[in-house]
Chain A
């Protein structure tokens, strides 16, 4: 019996053996011909037999049936079945799966497939923004990422911007997301030391060098960045070469900004302006009890004195001070790759002018990204970038000595001429106290120069297939040199016979990060991924200031020429040490779970609170891959996901936990020191608890896609500057106390309305509904706070439990009394006031009324509408952004619609429609020099409903037919035209509806409308 069995077995074995052959081959990608490592190769119908390609994409089977069918699969590629047909070498080319849900995206410390990623993240590819003229990339994300809100700081070239991801989660510690470029957290924000001129460090990154953005929104996506991730993370990946021969690309863009994007308190005609001016003084005398003829004589005499007509007519200040700004950008990049080497280099020059003649930004950037396999399993990668950026700017704050826009709208009468009749320049102040820029601009210099080099060095060692150790070292050196010079003839230099300041800031950031990653597929169904790492980060800033006064002549602009000099300098910084880990598991492409853990130690805290733990758990279920949906072909994808986790925010203060004693408070040329801070030694990071549920679906082979996410973000232990009695010598102490909550829904719907060989038309719309509220404050006490931009408390807000953090706080405007023309405010207290209106007590003087919450700058919904239309080689892309609901506060209107109080200033066209006689129904009160000061209070008179939609960018491009190109040896030539902010529809027509991040619009330079033309050539 035994023999029989053995015999049968032997026969079968021999039979099989005779049918077996040895098969090997190489798997490459159809896109660039590069080998595909780690591809899975199974044999159809045979259990337990399989292979994985090595780093060169090579696989082999020793014993394979001659008629076996190989099933090759790899993430990001379309799976293929290939019959062996007796061949011993079977080379396979895998097609890239262009489906969005199979796209590989960069995530925290690695990559993931979009369709399987458990966290909440959005990817923006640089293709769709490549033609938009902008010095920095941030504005391009507006309207394209649900939950992300971008705000311009100023229309000045080079200014810094603000981003908010999923609302406002902090009062004190910053709300900006963390920026990570090629795996390294980078220096971000404003780096200039010139007062009130911001200079965005992201200007050093050439948008053309960017391949993709990934915006990480929930804890599962971002918790690996731990104590810095609560406000979301923006991952930026720069370009690399594509397999194939050397590719040379040259792109040139020229553009111009002829006007602002929207109205900005347009002026009335000079004649109307004179009429308003006259009324101010005429009404003053009537208010003083004088007769109309006395009033007329008084007003006329003041007109004759203060606003005499010039024989040359009216001077056009707008025309003299604003220009059609030019934009130019030249990009040259070389890239390529073969099996072992990958390179991308770029060199670019950009010049962006502001509409004010003194505002320009010049930039030269260069980049070299190289990776090289020095051994089969050892890869070295170097990214080097260099940027030199210069910004010439001007002070954007409320300052009637420096702010051009403010002066144009509020201080330059057409009667003022820059020269006297004899042609000599007017060097004295005008009656409105404005200075003559056309004279003074040549007597000053005000610029920042930024020089940045970054060096990232990565070594990646594949120890065995699936186990990869990698270590990264990054060094970022940014040097910012500010130069500020006023000639002795300049009004700002005359008091000290000329001044010149040089301020140097050297920012150094070092990051060392080492990770080990293990990826294993068990039994073809279980995929396990484990990552562990260690990271150290050190930041240091060296600051030096040299200041000189008493200059020898009107043109010496360097310190050495100064008769008196002072200097100062010191350094500060912070450090972070972290351990991190991530574990992911998936089963059969259906169930995914992941978790992450990071432990951060920060120098910003004392020994008690230094270390913090941050973690997340997440899961997703890919329903489409279940048996019951697998065969429903019109459903392409169906998935739900959820996550919960904790991440944090570090305080903006480096040393907030310790009471410091600082030097530099000198006296009699001897050193002096003072206690500069009072501290809470138990100060800690802010903690965010984020819960996220997402639903993803696509249908009809991805022609229609719909995604929805719900999130709840509880921010606790918020750092709060708690007001303390000034008798202590301090005004506030930084303490962890407050709490806020943001919850919201993000919807994203897109569809290919037309999809055929010649025509493709895609439309996408996204909408974010975010509800923010303050949930806890110290002692339950409300906190009044002010918009910190502009430097003069331009808008007043209230943090109050249960209310939005963006609640405007002030007096409630009741309108203009039709009988008297006075502005009215509701009392909102139990005092009687000056009368009643709409059945409520009102007062003519805002200071008698009680503050209430008058509105809120949070929109009900905001988002974008994006469409792209292609016909053969012609394509048209449009991106709209919109915002509905919510209020915007105009802090400038109190100057340009001041009821006559600031008598010697110009007023907006709106004032033409002022109250003039009893019965007039208007929202502009009667003007008089005796005006009650109410217009200067924070009131809802300056609050507007803010609904708008704006065509952020539009671009039209045409690829020259390839047949033609082959003759001239170009691989591609593309011509394009694009425009930003071309069209805006808003619920008010006085000022630009895209306010700052607090929902305030003011006297900062408005943003412009830019039109560009470009040529893009690839060899």
Chain B
């Protein structure tokens, strides 16, 4: 018996002494976070993770992209209960329809950027060659640029347009330029401060980013394009002009010709793509039924889908200025235009289905890239900035505008003799025609204080969308619900954060 006990004792001592090692485990798909970023390759891997997150349906994968289209009058939601119809209805409340998940995902992207930046700045990532040094700088530049873009997107969702009176000193969003500890509770900076931070991040990023064309990642031109857009929103047209024209003049990117414009939507990384997000089944970034593809595709095309919105009459009428406009090439029959076995709801020939997200069919249809910035937008920024900069240059404005307007092959080119207002309208209309379904219309109208008109007459369809507690038929920047509420999830955990007016 003594012998047995001593054996058991020995076994126990042996096991217990090696126990602590025995009890250290991590899953095989993970490592401890503090040891994750030590090499340049790992920094690139971390950057890939950030892009992967940007493709989520709560960010550019669907919601961020469709938000401005659904709210800007270019789209119409056919019936109650379609995907995110609250964007269209503006019936947000603090406790529901608040889209707090967009806030969450965007701040997650910011946290991941800060994690990369901090690890690089703290010297955790070792480099031995100058090539590695440059690669690491490029990663840091990408993280800074994405951080800036994310803050800018938050401003667009949660804060008043910069040019609205009093807006610069009004509630912006909390600036996060470091990894925020679990128990910290940040409050909102002013709109002005956030703009300053965004511009600072982008200007820091631009010189260290690579300037070669880079598929799927943000490069120097991507950062410049975002910066041009930021300046445009801020009303700093001189700087917007500088950034936009530098991109155009670099000749790294070229406009699609009218002949190949339609096909550009069926292939990835075209000559205009300055920053295009890659969505593919092999990366599991394909969003299937929460993709933009599924949002626009009608049920008759594929029974898996139920279009969340169709192009509105006013958009179709605008595009119909020129029946030969090449951009009709991405318009197809919608659920009214091709209603299977549903004759009474038909509006024959109605082409309200926007087919910018139908992919090249080599992968799942819903795995279609999302273009965050492309050269056409930069031309239109250049046009608007030329018109509005300190020393207005209408000739340049018209020249940049006509480069895009020529896609409406039967329309006469815009003339520099037109009034400023007329030219501005032409540019905004061109932005609408060219950039529909790419996330601009609502922001364009709001940043300039224009009025959004919704043409949702109840008589047209027999299941009219119900606008209860939401907007009227027009929306201006004086309407409080043009910006989203801070969700009650954030407010419960962080009670001192300020709510937007109208949601208290």
**A669 with B280, Cβ < 8 A, contacts A570-B27, A601-B23, A655-B25 known:** yes
- Interface residue? B304 (CB, 8 A): yes
Complex formed: what's the CA distance from A577 to B20 in Å? 10
Inter-chain contact A661/B31, CB cutoff 8 Å: yes
**A305 with B462, Cβ < 8 A, contacts A429-B299, A665-B48, A672-B45 known:** yes
Shortest B219–chain A CB gap in Å is 14
- Interface residue? A726 (CB, 8 A): yes
**A496 with B366, Cβ < 8 A, contacts A429-B299, A667-B216, A725-B494 known:** yes
Q: Which residue of A lies closest to B95 (CB)?
A: A847
- Interface residue? A5 (CB, 8 A): no
**A469 with B4, Cβ < 8 A, contacts A663-B30, A673-B49, A726-B107 known:** yes
Inter-chain contact A564/B33, CB cutoff 8 Å: no
Residue numbers in A under 8 Å from B281 (CB-CB): 496, 549, 564, 566
Give the interface centre of A305, A532, A573, A677 by most chain B CB atoms within 10 Å: A305
**A305 with B345, Cβ < 8 A, contacts A726-B489, A728-B111 known:** yes
- Interface residue? B403 (CB, 8 A): no
- Interface residue? A428 (CB, 8 A): yes
Task: Give B337-392 interface residues, CB cut-off 8 Å to A.
Answer: 340-342, 344-345, 363-366
- Interface residue? B52 (CB, 8 A): yes
- Interface residue? B492 (CB, 8 A): yes
Residue numbers in B under 8 Å from A564 (CB-CB): 281-282, 363-364
Residue numbers in A under 8 Å from B302 (CB-CB): 491, 494-495
Q: Which residue of A lies closest to B216 (CB)?
A: A668
Residue numbers in B under 8 Å from A663 (CB-CB): 29-30, 45
Inter-chain contact A729/B112, CB cutoff 8 Å: yes
Give the interface centre of B306, B341, B493 by most chain A CB atoms within 10 Å: B493
Inter-chain contact B25/A574, CB cutoff 8 Å: yes
**A655 with B30, Cβ < 8 A, contacts A577-B22, A669-B282, A731-B489 known:** yes
Residue numbers in B under 8 Å from A463 (CB-CB): 1, 4
Shortest A701–chain B CB gap in Å is 43
Residue numbers in B under 8 Å from A467 (CB-CB): 1
Q: Which residue of B lies closest to A435 (CB)?
A: B303
Kindly state the interface size class of chain B when it binds its partner. Answer: 35 or more
**A495 with B490, Cβ < 8 A, contacts A464-B1, A674-B49, A730-B182 known:** no
Inter-chain contact B180/A729, CB cutoff 8 Å: yes
Residue numbers in A under 8 Å from B341 (CB-CB): 428
- Interface residue? B176 (CB, 8 A): yes
Q: Which residue of B lies closest to A675 (CB)?
A: B33
Complex formed: what's the CA distance from A388 to B477 in Å? 64
Complex formed: what's the CA distance from A566 to B49 in Å? 18
Complex formed: what's the CA distance from A534 to B302 in Å? 61
Complex formed: what's the CA distance from A494 to B53 in Å? 26
- Interface residue? A382 (CB, 8 A): no
- Interface residue? B186 (CB, 8 A): yes
**A665 with B53, Cβ < 8 A, contacts A602-B23, A672-B45 known:** yes
Q: Which residue of B lies closest to A542 (CB)?
A: B28
Give the interface centre of B22, B32, B45, B95 by most chain A CB atoms within 10 Å: B45
Identify which of B11-19, B129-137, B239-247, B256-264 touches chain A: B11-19
- Interface residue? A536 (CB, 8 A): yes
Inter-chain contact B364/A725, CB cutoff 8 Å: no
Partner of A659, one of B32, B300, B303, B344: B32
Task: Give B52-85 interface residues, CB cut-off 8 Å to A.
Answer: 52-53, 55, 80-81
Shortest A138–chain B CB gap in Å is 30
Give the interface centre of A492, A568, A610, A658 by most chain B CB atoms within 10 Å: A658
0/1 interface trace, chain A 548-575, chain B, CB 8 Å (1 if under): 0110000000000000101010111111
Residue numbers in B under 8 Å from A675 (CB-CB): 33, 36, 111-112, 115
- Interface residue? B8 (CB, 8 A): yes
**A674 with B303, Cβ < 8 A, contacts A301-B462, A660-B33 known:** no
Shortest B69–chain A CB gap in Å is 21
Shortest A794–chain B CB gap in Å is 15
Shortest A853–chain B CB gap in Å is 17
**A534 with B304, Cβ < 8 A, contacts A724-B182, A932-B468 known:** no
Inter-chain contact B52/A428, CB cutoff 8 Å: no
Complex formed: what's the CA distance from A723 to B186 in Å? 14
- Interface residue? A797 (CB, 8 A): no
- Interface residue? B397 (CB, 8 A): no
Inter-chain contact A729/B468, CB cutoff 8 Å: no
- Interface residue? A603 (CB, 8 A): yes
Residue numbers in B under 8 Å from A678 (CB-CB): 182
Inter-chain contact A660/B493, CB cutoff 8 Å: no
- Interface residue? B212 (CB, 8 A): no
Inter-chain contact B283/A669, CB cutoff 8 Å: yes
Q: Which residue of A lies closest to B16 (CB)?
A: A577
Inter-chain contact B303/A570, CB cutoff 8 Å: no
Kindly state the interface size class of chain A when it binds its partner. Answer: 35 or more
Inter-chain contact A667/B23, CB cutoff 8 Å: no
Complex formed: what's the CA distance from A579 to B16 in Å? 10
Inter-chain contact A726/B468, CB cutoff 8 Å: no
0/1 interface trace, chain B 168-190, chain A, CB 8 Å (1 if under): 00000010100111111110000
Inter-chain contact A573/B25, CB cutoff 8 Å: yes
- Interface residue? B201 (CB, 8 A): no
- Interface residue? B108 (CB, 8 A): yes
Task: Give B264-281 interface residues, CB cut-off 8 Å to A.
Answer: 278, 280-281
Complex formed: what's the CA distance from A728 to B34 in Å? 16
Shortest B52–chain A CB gap in Å is 4
Complex formed: what's the CA distance from A573 to B29 in Å? 12
- Interface residue? B294 (CB, 8 A): yes
Give the interface centre of B25, B36, B51, B52 by most chain A CB atoms within 10 Å: B25
- Interface residue? A829 (CB, 8 A): no
- Interface residue? B104 (CB, 8 A): yes
Shortest A285–chain B CB gap in Å is 11
Task: Give A693-734 interface residues, CB cut-off 8 Å to B.
Answer: 723-731, 733
Shortest A375–chain B CB gap in Å is 16
0/1 interface trace, chain A 945-964, chain B, CB 8 Å (1 if under): 00000000000000000000
Complex formed: what's the CA distance from A601 to B24 in Å? 11
0/1 interface trace, chain A 398-427, chain B, CB 8 Å (1 if under): 000000000000000000000000000001
- Interface residue? A670 (CB, 8 A): yes
Residue numbers in A under 8 Å from B44 (CB-CB): 670
- Interface residue? A664 (CB, 8 A): yes
Task: Give A637-678 interface residues, CB cut-off 8 Å to B.
Answer: 654-655, 658-678
Complex formed: what's the CA distance from A673 to B344 in Å? 52
- Interface residue? A11 (CB, 8 A): no
- Interface residue? B138 (CB, 8 A): no
Residue numbers in A under 8 Å from B235 (CB-CB): none
Inter-chain contact B490/A725, CB cutoff 8 Å: yes
- Interface residue? B449 (CB, 8 A): no
- Interface residue? B110 (CB, 8 A): yes
Complex formed: what's the CA distance from A733 to B300 in Å? 45
Shortest A845–chain B CB gap in Å is 8
0/1 interface trace, chain B 460-502, chain A, CB 8 Å (1 if under): 0011001011000000000000000000011011100100000
Complex formed: what's the CA distance from A903 to B462 in Å? 12
Complex formed: what's the CA distance from A566 to B284 in Å? 8
- Would you list 11 pairs from A and B whose C-beta atoms are within 8 A, ordered by A residue? A495-B288, A495-B302, A514-B11, A536-B15, A603-B24, A658-B26, A663-B45, A670-B48, A674-B53, A724-B182, A729-B112
Question: Which 10 A-B pairs give the minimum distances between C-beta atoms?
Answer: A729-B111, A672-B48, A661-B36, A572-B27, A570-B29, A674-B49, A491-B303, A725-B494, A672-B49, A667-B48
Residues of B within 8 A of A (CB): 1, 4-5, 8, 11-12, 15-16, 19-20, 22-36, 42, 44-53, 55, 80-81, 93, 95-96, 100, 103-104, 107-108, 110-112, 115, 174, 176, 179-186, 215-217, 278, 280-285, 288-289, 293-294, 299-300, 302-306, 340-342, 344-345, 363-366, 458, 462-463, 466, 468-469, 489-490, 492-494, 497
> Apart from A572-B25, A673-B49, A725-B493, what 11 extra A-B contacts exist at CB < 8 Å?
A495-B366, A534-B15, A654-B25, A661-B31, A665-B53, A674-B112, A725-B490, A727-B174, A727-B176, A730-B111, A847-B95
